[in-house]
Amino acid sequence: MIIGIIPHARKESAVSLAKDLVNYLEERKVSIWLDKGTARLLGFPKYGHDMAELTKVDALVILGGDGTLLSSARLVSDLNVPLLGVNLGHLGFLTEIESKNLYPAMEQILANNYTLEKRMFIDCDVIRDQKSIARYRALNDVVVTRGTFARIIQLSSYIDSQHVADYKADWIIVSTPTGSTAYSLSAGGPLIDPLLESIGLTPICPHTLSARPVLARASSVVKLEIEAAHQDVMLTVDGQLGFRLRSGDAIEVRKSPVYVHFIKLKGHNFFEILHSRMKMPQV
């Protein structure tokens, strides 16, 4: 078995835990994958490998928070590598376990005592003058947002070429089921079981009483046409990547052909994680 490790390189607790995990795996004579930069950072240069060798990894352990897991998932989206998220952040909706449970979890993984859960990505194209000028992949969401000035965004939304609504709003979120517990939830969007494949649209502070979240089939193409009279509009991807938009641009979002595979351990399910992270009352 080959275990890969990606820690949050700027978080001291993640770096320290990664070093301990390397020692743990060494004692058990388990092969280890680190990218070359991380291997030097941790003081184990002999375990530094090229990204191409990630295809050989049986499990990739992500040490950080949701942000680290999101960026890692996009990084390996074409490689079909199972991910185990270990929470060293705050909420950690996407992570499977807390750091204190890492080693019991590793024992289960080394014994092949786990299952895999497929989560869908969405792919997003920025269309300008009828050409795709940028393409992104997101696990949580893509958001059309205003910039620093308090100007509302005007846009039209379509699902499979059918007009849905015209919005005057601060922002609008297009999310996956995984992203339903992220920004969309804070904006009043629905909680969606992550295995129920769909694409959600959630406006933020719409200037109309009739604007409501919309849920589209995963096979649909969601299109947003920007009609802002100003140039201070951005597209953000998983809250980590950004692209400046112009009036007249269109955003096309569709289900990606690839999936992320999360390692799931016995006794950890979606609603249990919600209860623990959000302190939701159980009835």
* Catalytic residue status for 249: no
Report the alpha-carbon angle 253-213-215, nearest 5. 55
DSSP string for 222-234: EEEEE--SSS-EE
CA atoms within 13 A on the CB side of 152: 12
Cβ atoms of 168 and 262 within 8 Å: the answer is no
Residue with tokens 């019991």: 104
How far apart are alpha carbons 169 and 155 in whole angstroms? 8
Q: Produce one character per residue of 66-99: b if its CB has 16 or more CB atoms within 10 Å, e if not.
A: bebbbbbbbebbeeebbbbbbbbbeebbbbbbeb
Amino acid at 248: G
Burial annotation 101-133 (CB, 10 A radius, 16+ → b, else e):
ebeebbeebbeeebeebebbbbbbbbbeeeeee
Q: How far apart are CA 89 and CA 102, in angstroms?
A: 14
From 20, 35, 58, 66, active-site residue: 66
Contact by Cβ (8 Å): 171, 186:
no
**Which residues are designated catalytic?**
66
